[in-house]
């Protein structure tokens, strides 16, 4: 069924599909790279909160008729910087702070979506903002999305080593004269970029899947950081393109109504996670047996 | 004073945190390659002193100078206290050592033979080749300790600071780590300042001791410092330095009487009174 | 605002606030903000499915909550806790998207599920929620001390009780029950604000755990009442005010702690 898609001539020449493939690829790559750092730094909740909160920006953009990507991005970046700043002293408070910011942001989303529904003439804004709809992404977004993706990847590459070192132990980084706050702040901004791209692709609420899923799967398997990045990128890209292909195909399953792309992407990511988790456990068991064998001898 | 040659000079260093004095006029000097124990009980200010040398804590008065005349910076290697490396990180032991070499540089590391050789050599020096390719978070405490020492030393610092590196190690690993650090400080010409609450494992290795109590310090050779009259003056009340079965114990006066009595009654089982 | 048709709304909201405030105390003590967010939001597709199939919403919520507890506690082994919550959330919401998309409507009722809906509450709903709430509060009262001990130190609780894993289960189960009670009223996206905001503020004002628990419940009730009143007056969604009042609680707590530290210093 998956194989039948590329042979379907409509798939490749279809403009919305091409836009979806391009934007989706950018989102998947950036999310894989930024997601690895996010999971390593135990910031999955913060990443999720940013994604959810960015929906307020998305709904505002629909209300004002702006480019939705800029809406998502503006909100996510503002909140990321504020959270990183407020986080300064009390690391143990991070989860609570994240939760409260998330609550306030979602409250705002509720209001803006209410305005979208009552004042604006935009129908289905809520569905698009929260759950994404890849086949309706306007082609005009492609250059902006690619620029955002490029910026995020370059910034991630620049802080690659310092961020790894800070993830290992902030004190070790400081002892090398590193300004840890500058590094984590940069990472917060790349997180905002990644999350807004993902919100554009799979919707604000499901962006977490693209950000955390491939990274978590890759981190279980990889032996070193670069391996994790490559693996996460492959999983993310595979799931996104596979999801798009399946969704396109699904128009033929239930005539007249396609299944949502987001659904397929998330399911594929979850399957990848389960597989990698299973492989990691098996490898761990083997290594454990080897270790015990060694000690017994 | 021979300040130019010293690897570390601490002069009348004072630190207050939240209105409480943590360090009071601490002064001492380390020569290059010297191996020095920073001894004191919990809360005596050991960690604060190390963090002040690193520049993490600002002095309220006094001065700390390193070999190149700067305060803090790239000439100091550091192994933090009770570090438990996260098993979720996909980092091998050799990646951690490589991060010690250039972890603060921007951009990903380009493959370089020289870099790989430096890392390999350091892994060899601390005896970590056997587990160099394993996930660092899954190694034992003693193994992680070795990896972190390699991480700290790989940049060839002139001064190496270790915060309680012997806590949570068993007797054999303790002796091994002390011997290793002693050897490395000679080989690399790095002064070592190592904090510990028990001086005994360090006694055979130490060139010098800095003894901290309630934020005040005395420094010198072990046999000069660990004496009843010197430490009594430091503590501000009478303490006894007791030697029991080759171990040195510092106790308040009444306690030392009790220990002597106990040893007299049962010399075998009280041998390890802390 | 106090018209007869609003009476049920006020009653229901008060019950929900009582339970949320109580469980919120433990959410904050255990630093479980993410699970407290992931369970309700992850259960929302259950309610959506139920309303599409025409069965009781509470049933749909309960099924998805139970699934959530299972998946989260299963994934938590050998994985980071926050990753487990994130994965469950994504999985369940993906199912929700599919349901919404296949049914072809983004109905106002779904919007209510996400952001809260206090009007149009029936007497039966009030009764069933009241019964569930009494159950939840009873279990919490029974396990209050072990749960508190476990939050302080898992090892201490394990030493006292033999096993520690069971407490996490009880906590997640009570969280799930609260979700079932609260989601139809406050909305899946914002239930946890009602747990986290008041509780985090309350612990800044007292050092005694049970006073903090009482304070959390009181603040939670006050937040809900305030939110309903404001929503009634402005005609804006109740979720907005729940979110903002929760944030206000948290900020007041932070300011109070900062003031206390400054005084002590």
Q: Which residues pair with B61 in a beta bridge?
A: B14
Q: What is d(CA A188, CA A81) in angstroms, rounded to the nearest whole number?
A: 7
Cβ-defined contact of B18 to C80 (cutoff 8 Å): no
In the three-class reduction of DSSP (H, G, I as helix; E, B as strand; rest coil), residue B71 is classed as coil
Lowest-confidence range among A116-120, C135-139, C188-192? A116-120
Tell me the DSSP string of C201-220.
Answer: HHHHH-S-HHHHHHHHHHHH
For C128-171, the pLDDT digits (tens) are 889 999 999 999 988 888 888 888 777 677 776 666 567 888 88
pLDDT (0 to 100) of residue B274: 40
B237 within 8 A of B226, measured Cβ to Cβ: no
Q: Give the β-pairing of B191-196 and B159-162.
A: parallel
In a domain, B77, yes or no: yes
pLDDT of residue A296: 31
Q: What is the tens place of the pLDDT at every residue in B135-175?
A: 888 888 888 989 999 999 898 888 999 999 888 788 888 88
- Bridge partners of B219, per DSSP, are B210
Which two structure tokens, joined as six digits, stand for C88? Answer: 């469950």
pLDDT band, very low/low/confident/very high, at C1 (cuts 50, 70, 90): low
Helix (H, G, I), strand (E, B) or coil at B227: coil
CB atoms within 10 A of CB A128: 22
pLDDT band at C236 (very low <50, low <70, confident <90, very high): confident
CA angle C205, B18, A184 (to 5 degrees): 80
The domain containing residue A233 runs over which residues?
Answer: 4-296
- C 27-46 near A (Cβ less than 8 A): 28, 31-34, 36-37, 41
Confirm or reject contact between A221 and chain C (CB < 8 A).
Answer: no
Say if the Cβ atoms of A172 and B103 lie within 8 Å: yes
Residue C127 sits in a domain whose CATH number is 1.10.3470.10
Whether C177 maps to a domain, the answer reads: yes
- Mean pLDDT check: name the lowest of A5-19, B55-69, C185-199, C230-244: A5-19
Contact A17, A136 (CB under 8 A): no
pLDDT of residue B66: 84
For C80, which of A42, A99, A213 is closest by C-beta distance? Answer: A42
Is there a contact between B78 and B152 (Cβ–Cβ < 8 Å)?
yes
In this prediction, residue A157 carries a pLDDT of 94
Residue A51 C-beta-side C-alpha neighbours within 13 Å: 33
Q: Do C265 and B19 touch (CB under 8 A)?
A: yes
DSSP string, B92-138: BHHHHHHHHHHTTSSSPPPP-HHHHHHHHHHHHHTT-GGGTTSBGGG
| CB contacts, 8 Å: B90 with chain A | 219, 222-225, 227-228
Split at pLDDT 50, 70, 90, the class of B268 is low
C-alpha C3/C-alpha C226 separation (Å) is 17
Q: Which residues of C touch B88 (CB under 8 A)?
A: 80
Split at pLDDT 50, 70, 90, the class of C5 is low
Domain membership of residue C205 (yes or no) is: no
What confidence category does residue A212 fall into, taking pLDDT thresholds of 50, 70 and 90? very high
Taking only the tens place, the pLDDT of each residue in A138-194 is: 888 889 999 999 999 999 999 999 999 998 888 888 888 888 889 989 999 999 999
Chain B residues within 8 Å of chain A (Cβ atoms): 54, 56, 72-74, 76-78, 80, 83, 85-86, 88-92, 95-96, 99-100, 102-109, 133, 135, 148, 151-152, 155
3-class SS of residue B240: strand
Average pLDDT over residues A30-34: 95
Of A40, A158, A175, the CB nearest to B106: A158
Using the beta-carbon criterion (under 8 Å), do C196 and A103 form an inter-chain contact?
Answer: yes
Our count of domains for chain A comes to: 1
Is residue A4 predicted with pLDDT exceeding 80?
Answer: no
Contact A161/B at CB under 8 A = yes
Lowest mean pLDDT among A22-31, B64-73, B222-231, C230-239: B64-73
Residues B91, A173: C-beta atoms closer than 8 Å: no
Using a CB-CB distance cutoff of 8 angstroms, which residues of chain B are in contact with residue C77? Answer: none
Q: Which of A85, A107, A125 to mutate to test the interface with C (most CBs of C within 10 A)?
A: A107
pLDDT of residue C135: 92
- For the packed helices C165-186 and C191-205, what is the interaxial angle rounded to 10 degrees? 120
In a domain, C213, yes or no: no
| Least Cα separation, residue C228 to chain B (angstroms) | 44
Chain C residue whose CA is closest to A219: C79
In a domain, C81, yes or no: yes
Give the pLDDT score at A230. Answer: 95
**What's the structural domain count of chain B?**
1
Residue B234 forms part of a structural domain: no
| pLDDT above 60 for A134 | yes
Question: How far, rounded to the nearest angstrom, does the alpha carbon of residue C150 sit from its chain's CA centroid?
Answer: 20
DSSP assignment string, C110-128: HHHHHH---SS--HHHHHH
CATH number assigned to the domain comprising residue A130: 1.10.3470.10
- Surface of C (244-263) touching A: CB under 8 A: 244, 246-247, 250
In the prediction, which pLDDT does B227 show?
A: 83
Report, as an integer, the average pLDDT of A117-129.
68
Q: Which of A279-293, B73-87, C182-196 has the lowest mean pLDDT?
A: A279-293
CB-nearest partner of A45 from C33, C78, C101 = C33
Q: Give residue B15's pLDDT.
A: 92
Please give the angle made by the CA atoms of B107, B108 and B110, to the nearest 5 degrees.
115
d(CA B266, CA B257): 14
CB contact under 8 A, C94 and A262: yes
For residue B208, the SS3 value is: strand
Q: Is the pLDDT of residue B269 over 60?
A: no
Place of tokens 């985090």: C200
Q: Output the average pLDDT for chain A.
A: 84
- Torsion, Cα A208 A209 A210 A216, to 10 degrees, reads 100
User: What is the least distance, in Å, from the CA of B177 to any CA of chain C?
Assistant: 30
Phi, psi of B139 (to 5 degrees): -80, 165
Q: Is the pLDDT of residue A35 over 60?
A: yes
Domain that holds residue C158: 4-191
CA distance B79 to B145: 8
Instruction: Determine what percent of chain C falls in helix, strand and coil, rounding each to the nearest 5.
Output: 85, 0, 15
Chain A and chain C share a number of CB contacts under 8 A equal to 175
Pairing of strands B239-244, B247-252: antiparallel
Is C104 at the interface with chain A, CB within 8 A?
A: yes
Q: How open is the CA angle A77-A98-C48, to the nearest 5 degrees?
A: 95
Q: Packing angle between helix A225-250 and helix A15-40, nearest 10 degrees?
A: 150
In a domain, B262, yes or no: no
Task: Report CA A85 to chain centroid distance, whole Å.
Answer: 22
pLDDT tops 70 at residue C106: no
Domain count, chain C: 1
Cβ-contact C50, C60 below 8 angstroms: yes
Burial letters C130-155, b for 16+ CB under 10 A, else e: eebbeebbeebeebbebbbbbbeeee
Contact B91 A165 (CB under 8 A): no
Which residues of chain C lie closer than 8 angstroms to B19, CB-CB? 265
| CA-based end-to-end distance of chain C | 47
Q: In this predicted structure, which of A81-90, B86-95, C166-175 has the lowest mean pLDDT?
A: A81-90
Whether C105 has its CB under 8 Å from any CB of chain A: the answer is no
Look at residue B71 in the predicted model and tell me its pLDDT. 53
Q: Which of B125-139, B249-263, C75-89 has the largest mean confidence?
A: B125-139
| Structural contact between residues C202 and C216, judged by C-beta atoms closer than 8 angstroms | yes
DSSP A136: G
pLDDT band, very low/low/confident/very high, at A264 (cuts 50, 70, 90): very high
For strands B159-162 and B76-79, give the pairing.
parallel
- What is the CATH classification number for the domain harbouring B93? 3.40.50.300
Looking at residue A86, what is its pLDDT? 76
Among the listed residues A84, A74, A47, A19, the one whose alpha carbon sits nearest the alpha carbon of residue A214: A47
Total residues found in chain A within this entry: 297
User: DSSP assignment of A179-221, as one string?
Assistant: -HHHHHHHHHHHHHHHHHHHHHHH-TTTHHHHHHHHHHHHHHH
Helix and strand totals (H; E) in chain B: 8, 11
CA dihedral for C59, C63, C68, C73, sign (positive or negative):
positive
Domain membership flag for residue C151? yes
Helix, strand, coil fractions of chain A, as percent rounded to 5: 85, 0, 15
The pLDDT tens digits of the residues spanning B29-83 come to 999 889 999 998 888 889 999 999 988 888 999 988 887 766 555 678 899 887 7
Domain containing B93 equals 8-197
Q: Give the mean model confidence (pLDDT) for residues B109-136.
A: 90
Split at pLDDT 50, 70, 90, the class of A242 is very high
pLDDT tens per residue across span A45-62? 889 999 989 989 988 888
Go through chain C and tell me how many residues it has: 265
Using the predicted structure, report yes or no on whether residue B238 has a pLDDT greater than 90. Answer: no
Q: What is the pLDDT of residue C164?
A: 59
Q: Is B42 helix (H, G, I), strand (E, B) or coil?
A: coil
Planar angle of CA B141, B146, B149, nearest 5 degrees: 125
CB contact C260 to B (< 8 Å): no
Q: Which of C143, C128, C109, C191 is nearest to C30 (CA)?
A: C143
What is the three-class DSSP state of C7? helix
Residue B20 sits at φ, ψ, to 5 deg, of -105, 130
Give the contacts of C193 (CB within 8 A, at least 6 positions apart).
A99, A100, A102, A103, A104, A106, A107, C242, C243, C246, C247
HSE value, Cβ hemisphere, 13 Å, CA-based, for A295: 5
Size of interface B-C (CB pairs under 8 A): 4
| Confidence at residue B256, expressed as pLDDT on a 0 to 100 scale | 66
Chain B, nearest residue to C83 by Cα: B88
CA A277 to chain centre: 20
Chain B residues whose beta carbon lies within 8 Å of the beta carbon of residue A180: none
- Across the strands, what pairs with B78? B161
Lowest mean pLDDT among A280-289, B33-42, C73-82, C210-219: A280-289
ipTM score for this prediction: 0.83
Q: Who among B83, B104, B151 is closest to A178 (CB)? A: B104
Mean pLDDT across B171-183: 88
Neighbouring C-beta atoms of residue C12, cutoff 10 Å: 23
Chains that touch B (3 or more CB pairs under 8 A): A, C
Phi, then psi, of B39 in degrees rounded to 5: -105, 140
Please state, rounded to an integer, the average pLDDT across all residues of chain C.
83
Instruction: Report the distance separating Cα C12 and Cα C24, nearest Å.
Output: 18
Identify the weakest region by mean pLDDT among B185-189, B231-235, C45-49, C77-81.
C77-81
Asked if the structure places residue B67 within a domain, the reply is: yes
pLDDT at A240 exceeding the cut of 70: yes
Among the partner-chain residues A40, A177, A224, the one whose CB lies closest to the CB of B104 is A177
Phi-psi region of C31 (alpha: psi -120 to 50; beta: other; left: phi over 0): left
**Cα angle value C190/C196/C202 (rounded, 5°):** 140
Per cent of chain C over pLDDT 90 is 17
Question: Is A127 at the interface with chain C, CB within 8 A?
Answer: yes
Mean pLDDT of the B79-98 span = 85
pLDDT over 90 for what percent of chain A?
A: 37
Mapped onto helix, strand or coil, the DSSP state of residue B190 is: coil
Q: What is the residue-wise DSSP string for C20-77?
A: HHHHHHHHHHTT-HHHHHHHHHHHHHHHHHHHHHTS-HHHHHHHHHHHHHHHHHHHTT
Q: What is the pLDDT of residues C69-104, one digit of tens each?
A: 888 888 877 667 788 888 888 888 888 888 877 776
- Per DSSP, B200 falls in state G
């Amino acid at each position: 069924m998956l194989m039948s898609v590329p042979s379907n001539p409509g798939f490749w020449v279809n403009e919305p599909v091409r836009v979806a493939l391009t934007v989706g690829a950018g989102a998947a790559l950036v999310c894989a790279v930024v997601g690895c750092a996010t999971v390593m730094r135990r910031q999955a909740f913060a990443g999720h909160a940013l994604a959810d909160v960015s929906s307020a920006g998305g709904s505002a953009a629909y209300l004002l008729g702006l480019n939705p990507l800029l809406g998502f991005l503006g909100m996510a970046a503002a909140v990321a910087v504020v959270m990183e700043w407020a986080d300064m002293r009390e690391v143990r408070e991070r989860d609570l702070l994240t939760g409260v910011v998330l609550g306030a942001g979602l409250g705002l989303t509720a209001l803006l979506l209410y305005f979208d529904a009552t004042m604006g003439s935009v129908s289905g804004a809520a569905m698009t903002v929260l759950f994404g709809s890849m086949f309706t992404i306007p082609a005009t977004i492609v250059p902006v999305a690619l620029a955002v993706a490029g910026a995020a990847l370059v910034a991630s590459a620049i802080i690659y080593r310092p961020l790894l070192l800070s993830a290992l132990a902030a004190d070790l980084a400081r002892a090398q004269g590193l300004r840890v706050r500058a590094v984590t702040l940069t990472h917060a901004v790349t997180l905002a970029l990644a999350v807004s791209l993902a919100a554009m692709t799979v919707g604000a609420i499901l962006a977490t899947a693209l950000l955390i899923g491939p990274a978590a799967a890759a981190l279980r398997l990889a032996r070193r950081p670069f391996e994790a990045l490559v693996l996460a990128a492959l999983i993310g890209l595979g799931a996104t393109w596979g999801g798009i292909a399946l969704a396109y195909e699904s128009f033929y399953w239930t005539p007249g109504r396609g299944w949502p792309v987001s659904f397929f992407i998330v399911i594929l990511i979850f399957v990848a996670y389960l597989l990698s988790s299973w492989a990691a456990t098996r490898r761990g068991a083997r290594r454990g047996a080897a270790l015990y064998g060694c000690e017994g001898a | 004073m021979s300040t130019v040659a010293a690897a570390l000079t601490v002069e009348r260093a004072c630190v207050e945190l939240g209105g409480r004095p943590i360090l009071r006029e601490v002064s001492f000097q380390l020569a290059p390659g010297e191996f020095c124990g920073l001894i004191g009980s919990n809360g005596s200010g050991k960690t604060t002193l190390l963090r002040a040398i690193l520049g993490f804590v600002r002095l309220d008065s006094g001065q700390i100078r390193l070999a190149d005349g700067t305060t803090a910076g790239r000439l100091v290697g550091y192994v933090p206290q009770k570090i438990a490396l996260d098993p979720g990180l996909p980092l091998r032991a050799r990646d951690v050592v490589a991060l010690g070499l250039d972890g603060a540089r921007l951009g990903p590391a380009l493959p370089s033979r020289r870099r790989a050789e430096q890392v390999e050599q350091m892994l060899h020096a601390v005896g970590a080749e056997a587990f160099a390719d394993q996930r660092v978070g899954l190694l034992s405490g003693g193994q992680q300790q070795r990896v972190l020492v390699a991480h700290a030393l790989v940049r060839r610092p002139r001064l190496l600071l270790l915060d309680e590196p012997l806590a949570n190690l068993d007797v054999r690993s303790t002796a091994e780590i002390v011997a290793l650090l002693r050897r490395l400080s000679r080989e690399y010409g790095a002064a070592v300042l190592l904090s510990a609450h028990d001086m005994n494992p360090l006694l055979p290795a130490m060139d010098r001791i800095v003894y901290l109590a309630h934020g005040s310090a005395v420094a010198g050779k072990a046999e000069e410092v660990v004496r009843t009259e010197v430490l009594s003056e430091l503590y501000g009340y009478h303490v006894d330095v007791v030697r029991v079965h080759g171990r040195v114990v510092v106790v308040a006066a009444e306690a030392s009487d009790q220990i002597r009595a106990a040893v007299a009654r049962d010399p075998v089982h009280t041998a390890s009174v802390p | 605002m106090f018209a007869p048709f609003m009476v049920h709304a006020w009653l229901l909201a008060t019950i929900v606030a009582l339970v949320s405030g109580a469980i919120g105390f433990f959410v904050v003590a255990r630093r479980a903000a993410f699970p407290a967010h992931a369970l309700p939001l992850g259960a929302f597709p259950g309610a959506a499915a139920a309303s599409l199939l025409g069965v009781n919403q509470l049933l749909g919520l309960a099924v998805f909550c139970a699934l959530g507890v299972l998946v989260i506690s299963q994934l938590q082994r050998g994985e980071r806790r926050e990753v487990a919550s994130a994965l469950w959330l994504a999985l369940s919401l993906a199912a929700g998207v599919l349901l919404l998309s296949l049914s072809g409507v983004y109905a106002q009722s779904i919007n209510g599920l996400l952001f809260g809906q206090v009007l149009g509450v029936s007497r039966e709903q009030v009764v069933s929620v009241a019964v569930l709430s009494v159950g939840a509060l009873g279990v919490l009262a029974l396990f209050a001390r072990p749960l508190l001990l476990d939050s302080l130190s898992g090892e201490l609780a394990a030493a006292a009780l033999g096993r520690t894993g069971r407490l996490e289960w009880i906590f997640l189960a009570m969280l799930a029950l609260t979700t079932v009670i609260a989601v139809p009223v406050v909305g899946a996206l914002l239930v946890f604000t009602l747990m986290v905001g008041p509780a985090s503020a309350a612990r800044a004002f007292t050092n005694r755990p049970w006073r903090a628990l009482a304070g959390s419940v009181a603040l939670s009730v006050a937040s809900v009442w305030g939110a309903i009143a404001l929503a009634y007056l402005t005609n804006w969604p109740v979720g907005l005010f729940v979110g903002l009042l929760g944030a206000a609680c948290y900020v007041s707590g932070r300011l109070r702690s900062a003031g206390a530290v400054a005084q002590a210093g």
